């Protein structure tokens, strides 16, 4: 089965609570939500982030929004004003998660190919 | 102070429009003006407080007893108080920070300058600030243990800079009941600024948990301003129109708790299922148990439906009783930090930056400087996604070396700030970007979340209402 980045299946927003980052991961299309539930487990996410997350990863499901919420504990170098990180508030953990690759059926890969990125601008006809 | 149990409004509006005008202290200064003048609204909510804001305000208050609140709020009210009186708009804000009384006094003065003397009342909520009661509370058996580590506050008592309890909607409702057009609070929860007007207007009782939970969800959507109406939206961001004039969200609430998220016609941005979902999940913990002082909301019960362009209907929300505790936000002094940067250019930009970092660390070691932490980041390569970015290519056009240190010894951090610039003449080549001067040493403030029994806080709450 083809592997695709989550970027093509879902959008995301992240933020902070102290030293914990949260990431809300939302399926673009409700029909892809079961794939996310099955493959984007707390264990897989913990493994994806590796040394970027010192503590545990928790997952909460929001079937009503076709979304999952992750808590990444110990991800922000102490958080708040203590953290030395550029991303002390965990604002871009969202797209870091969207880098993660999952296996999907061929037809899904074809349907979502190129999602999540700004389409290339058409070249001007002159020149 | 006793706060009315059942609330009842003299107004019997079927729809109440509560506009978000500010998502944090430092947000778009003109957004509240656009909300007031761009169409009909009944309430304007302005959220100025984040976890670290209270300690910054406390520091300002210790230097000047008349300071310690969001100063931007005063000139803003001078601009819009006339509109608010004419259009019958009420303003609810936590701009009061650690000094709501002084904030309200300054707003009253500004209101008189703007010609609103005798035409508007201001309500002030106090009692959230427990920094002067800490010793008594600890002695009386309230350890204020850190919610994650379990450590009692006693162990860092001498480092405490501020301590404020998150308050809910009841004191705001009391101020509205007493005719306040402008309600100024200290550390109210962000969501209460939106659901207090709903509870007041519709006369919700304090055990109508489903209704209150709906209000909390509305508040969560409003509390970060344009983050619900197209700002910072990762879904097809390039298609979101006219963010330069982004319309902040407006909640059109009904008495049954259901509401529509929208924005003023003709404003920029968008309100879609995607923008609303992203905001619903922002800073979320356990979605089944979103705890506030008035209700515990279940975000897994939220139902969303598109009702038309820039209109998302939200309904079906369930809630349960709140806990016997209130959350306390304590800020503690936690040492010093500084961050220095230099920019390295092609070729081998990343390799040069890493070599410079190694040289810097060796010099810090030779000087005998010890830090709790040293962090090296390459902005332009790994500062946001770390090792997930892989190894940098040798043809990377440029990279910013960013080195941060923190520790308890101010002199050591100070000395670090003098070791950055020398790298320009004594380290790897093709380096620039040092014109900003030496990095600044900053005092760090650690956030200490704790719980306290509400029975020792609520008797101290006070609502004062006076004429501008």
Confirm if B364 and B419 have CB atoms less than 8 A apart.
yes
Strand, helix or coil for residue A109: helix
Binary contact (A22, B281; C-beta < 8 A): yes
Radius of gyration of chain A (CA): 16
User: For position B4, what pLDDT does the model report?
Assistant: 45
Each domain of chain A, given as residue ranges in start order, spans 3-112
- Structure-derived torsion over alpha carbons of residues B159, B161, B166, B170, reported in degrees to the nearest 10: 130
User: Which of B127, B186, B114 lies closest to B468, judged by CA?
Assistant: B114
Distance, C-alpha A52 to centroid of its chain: 14
So what's the ipTM on this one?
A: 0.96
Q: Where are the strands (E) in B230-372, listed by range?
A: 250-253, 259-262, 290-291, 296-298, 303-308, 311-315, 318-320, 325-345
Q: Which class does domain B330-448 fall in? A: alpha beta
Question: Please, which residues bridge with residue B404 across strands?
Answer: B339, B375
Q: Does the beta-carbon distance from A69 to B287 stay under 8 Å?
A: yes
Residue of B274, B285, B442 with shortest CB distance to A71: B285
Chain A partners within 8 Å of B379 (Cβ): 86
Tell me the three state secondary structure of residue B464: strand
- A24 and B277: CB-CB below 8 Å? yes
* Per-residue pLDDT tens digits of chain B, which is 468 residues long: 444 444 444 455 589 999 999 999 999 999 999 999 999 999 999 999 987 788 889 889 989 999 999 999 999 999 999 999 999 999 999 999 999 999 999 999 999 999 999 999 999 999 999 999 999 999 999 999 999 889 999 999 999 999 999 999 999 999 999 999 999 999 999 999 999 999 999 999 999 999 999 999 999 999 999 999 999 999 999 999 999 999 999 999 999 999 999 999 999 999 999 999 999 999 999 999 999 999 999 999 999 999 999 999 999 999 999 999 999 999 999 999 999 999 999 999 999 999 999 999 999 999 999 999 999 999 999 999 999 999 998 899 999 999 999 999 999 999 999 999 999 999 999 999 987 789 999 999 888 999 999 999 999 999 999 999
Are A13 and B304 within 8 A, CB to CB? no
Which residues, listed in sequence order, are joined to residue B251 by a DSSP beta bridge?
A: B18, B261
Cβ distance of A13 and B281 shorter than 8 Å: yes
Beta strands in B30-78 (DSSP E): 43-46
How many CB atoms within 10 Å of residue B451?
18
Kindly list the domain boundaries of chain B, sorted by start residue: 16-128+166-322, 330-448
Out of A26, A92, A119, closest to residue B281 by CB: A26
Q: Which residues of A touch B148 (CB under 8 A)?
A: 18-19
């Amino acid at each position: 089965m083809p592997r695709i980045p989550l970027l093509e299946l879902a959008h995301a927003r992240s933020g902070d609570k102290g030293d914990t980052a949260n990431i809300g991961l939302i399926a673009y299309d409700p029909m892809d939500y079961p794939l996310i539930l099955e493959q984007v487990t707390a264990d897989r996410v913990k493994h994806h982030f590796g040394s970027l997350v010192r503590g545990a990863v928790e997952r909460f499901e929001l079937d009503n929004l076709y979304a999952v919420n992750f808590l990444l504990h110990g991800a922000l170098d102490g958080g708040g004003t203590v953290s030395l990180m550029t991303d002390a508030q965990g604002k871009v953990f969202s797209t870091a998660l969207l880098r993660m690759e999952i296996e999907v059926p061929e037809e899904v890969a074809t349907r979502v190919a190129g999602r999540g990125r700004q389409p290339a601008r058409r070249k001007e006809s002159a020149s | 102070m006793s706060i009315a149990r059942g609330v009842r409004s003299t107004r019997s509006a079927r729809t109440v429009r509560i506009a978000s005008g500010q998502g944090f202290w430092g947000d778009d200064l003109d957004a509240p003006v656009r909300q007031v003048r761009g169409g009909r609204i009944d309430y304007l909510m302005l959220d100025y407080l984040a976890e670290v804001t209270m300690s910054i305000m406390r520091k300002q208050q210790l230097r000047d007893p008349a300071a310690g609140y969001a100063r931007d709020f005063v000139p803003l009210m001078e601009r819009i108080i006339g509109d608010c009186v004419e259009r019958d708009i009420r303003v609810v804000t936590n701009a009061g920070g650690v000094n709501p009384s002084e904030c309200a006094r300054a707003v009253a003065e500004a209101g008189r300058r703007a010609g609103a003397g005798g035409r508007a009342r201001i309500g002030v909520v106090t009692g959230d600030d427990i920094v002067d009661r800490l010793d008594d509370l600890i002695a009386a058996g309230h350890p204020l243990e850190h919610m994650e580590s379990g450590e009692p506050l006693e162990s860092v008592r001498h480092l405490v800079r501020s301590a404020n309890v998150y308050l809910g909607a009841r004191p705001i409702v009391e101020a509205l009941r007493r005719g306040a057009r402008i309600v100024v609070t200290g550390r109210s929860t962000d969501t209460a600024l939106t659901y207090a007007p709903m509870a007041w207007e519709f006369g919700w009782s304090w055990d109508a948990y489903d209704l209150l939970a709906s209000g909390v969800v509305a508040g969560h959507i409003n509390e970060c301003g344009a983050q619900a109406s197209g700002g910072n939206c990762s879904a097809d961001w390039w298609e979101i129109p006219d963010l330069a004039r982004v319309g902040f969200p407006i909640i059109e609430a009904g008495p049954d708790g259901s509401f529509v998220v929208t924005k003023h016609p003709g404003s920029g941005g968008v309100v879609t299922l995607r923008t609303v979902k992203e905001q619903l999940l922002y800073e979320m913990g356990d979605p089944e148990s979103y705890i506030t002082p008035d209700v515990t909301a279940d975000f897994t019960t939220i139902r969303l439906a598109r009702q038309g362009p820039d209109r998302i209907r939200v309904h079906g929300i369930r809630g349960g009783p709140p806990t016997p505790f209130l959350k306390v936000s304590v800020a503690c002094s936690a040492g010093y930090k500084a961050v220095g940067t230099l920019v390295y250019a092609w070729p081998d930009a990343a390799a040069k930056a890493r070599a410079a970092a190694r040289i810097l660390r060796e010099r810090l070691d030779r000087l005998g400087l010890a830090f709790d932490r040293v962090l090296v980041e390459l902005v332009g390569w790994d500062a946001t996604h770390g090792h997930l970015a892989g190894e940098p290519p040798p043809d990377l056009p440029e990279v910013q070396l960013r080195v941060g240190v923190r520790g308890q010894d101010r002199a050591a951090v100070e000395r670090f700030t003098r070791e950055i610039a020398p790298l320009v003449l004594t380290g790897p080549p093709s380096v620039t970007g040092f014109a900003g001067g030496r990095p600044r040493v900053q005092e760090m403030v650690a956030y200490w979340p704790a719980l306290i029994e509400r029975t020792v806080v609520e008797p101290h709450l006070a609502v004062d209402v006076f004429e501008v």
